């Protein structure tokens, strides 16, 4: 095989990014747009979603938004089908939308947190994948990336609904990598560490700094774009032999002991 034969471009490919109105989803949608992909953005929050779509179309990217509550399981397949029919194809699916509802295991709201967290972080992934698969199967290089978390590799007090769902995301990723591997479709996940997004915006700056200095090898929080580049590397046509991995993009959080 000649050495530069694998494509490093997603130009013209169609990518779905969920949770694209904020944080890592927004950064991923922008990066894919900048790489020439046609991007379908999904989010529950109509106004910020349309703001991101506008940012992208103003920058000359091909982008369109779909408002969808991913915890409403029945609503997912019709929207994914609509996206596939709108663009005529789906090549890349990034399951990124997420919520965090910390709760002590014996707390009053625990079961609600458990159900909602699993609906958005895990069941929605399965439903988007099931709906997108007929389109992804027709792609010459179908790619699925699920966003898990370092909370699936370690744990934080009161985070059990989140940790359990994110650990499920890794299991789902590995299992589907095996199931879909014979068709050349790759399924991977990213485990972001502490990243500056909407989800962590409420953590005071001094707490962020103390935590990062104590725990992260690079001694700082990450930026959404730094995770987006990890995701991009997994969806390139050239990434065709990478499947079933859980890639930490965590500044070295998971390898630092002291
Ligand atoms: P974010 O809060 O900035 O973005 C999450 C997006 O998901 C928001 O736009 C939100 O509206 C959307 N969303 C939430 N529930 C939804 C629903 N039911 N239907 C449709 N959209 C919905 O947060 P961030 O950090 O960018 O989150 C992206 C992913 O990264 C999530 O899966 C999160 O669990 C994960 N993550 C975040 C880390 C961090 O430090 N920020 C660390 C590890 C993982």
Query: Tell me: the pLDDT tens digits for 206-239?
Result: 999 999 999 999 999 999 999 999 999 999 999 9
Residue from 110, 158, 162, 211 carrying the catalytic annotation: 162
> How many whole angstroms from 2 Cα to the centroid of ligand 1?
41
Dump pLDDT digits (tens) for 80-122. 999 999 999 999 999 999 999 999 999 999 999 999 999 999 9
Classify residue 186 by burial, with Cβ atoms within 10 Å: 0-12, 13-18, 19+. buried
Q: Which of 52, 68, 98, 164 to mutate to test the pocket of ligand 1 (most atoms within 8 A of CB)?
A: 98
- Is the pLDDT confidence value at 126 over 90? yes
- Is the pLDDT confidence value at 2 over 90? no
The pTM of the whole model exceeds 0.95: yes
Residue 149, phi then psi, degrees to nearest 5? -175, 155
- pLDDT confidence band for 3 (50 / 70 / 90): confident
- The class that CATH gives domain 14-253 is alpha beta
The share of the chain scoring above pLDDT 90, in percent, equals 98
Nearest CA to ligand 1 atom 41: 195
Q: Which two tokens stand for residue 48?
A: 């910020």
> How many whole angstroms from 140 Cα to the centroid of ligand 1?
29
Dump pLDDT digits (tens) for 45-59. 999 999 999 999 999
162 in catalytic set: yes
Dump pLDDT digits (tens) for 133-191. 999 999 999 999 999 999 999 999 999 999 999 999 999 999 999 999 999 999 999 99
Give me the pLDDT at residue 182, please: 98
Give the sheet arrangement for strand 14-18, strand by strand: 62-67, 38-43, 14-18, 92-95, 143-147, 186-192, 246-249
Give me the pLDDT at residue 4, please: 84
State the closest ligand 1 atom to the C-alpha of 21, by its place in the atom list counted from 1.
Answer: 9
Residues with CB under 6 A from ligand 1: 19, 21-25, 43-45, 68-71, 96-99, 120, 147, 149, 192, 194-195, 197-200
Name the residue with tokens 């910390």: 102
Closest among 53, 55, 77 to 65, alpha carbons compared: 53
């Amino acid at each position: 095989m000649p050495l530069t034969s694998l494509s490093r471009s997603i130009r013209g490919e169609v990518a779905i990014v969920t949770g694209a109105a904020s944080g890592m989803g927004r950064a991923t949608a922008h990066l894919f747009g900048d790489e020439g992909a046609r991007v379908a953005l999904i989010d529950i929050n109509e106004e910020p979603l349309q703001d991101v779509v506008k940012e992208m179309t103003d920058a000359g990217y091909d982008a369109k938004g779909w408002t969808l509550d991913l915890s409403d399981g029945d609503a997912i397949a019709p929207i994914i089908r609509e996206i596939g029919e709108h663009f005529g194809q789906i090549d890349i699916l990034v399951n990124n939308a997420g919520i965090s509802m910390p709760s002590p295991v014996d707390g009053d709201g625990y079961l609600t947190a458990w159900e909602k967290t699993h609906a958005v972080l895990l069941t929605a992934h399965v439903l988007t994948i099931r709906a997108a698969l007929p389109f992804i199967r027709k792609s010459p290089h179908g790619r699925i990336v699920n966003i898990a978390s370092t909370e699936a590799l370690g744990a934080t007090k009161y985070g059990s609904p989140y940790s359990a769902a994110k650990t499920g995301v890794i299991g789902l990723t590995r299992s589907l990598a095996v199931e879909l591997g014979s068709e050349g479709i790759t399924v991977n996940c990213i485990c972001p560490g502490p990243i500056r997004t909407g989800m962590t915006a409420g953590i005071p700056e001094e707490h962020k700094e103390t935590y990062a200095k104590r725990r992260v090898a690079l001694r700082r929080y990450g930026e959404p774009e730094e995770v987006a580049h990890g995701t991009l590397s997994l969806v390139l046509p050239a990434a065709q032999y990478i499947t079933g991995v859980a890639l930490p993009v965590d500044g070295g959080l998971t390898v630092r002991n002291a």
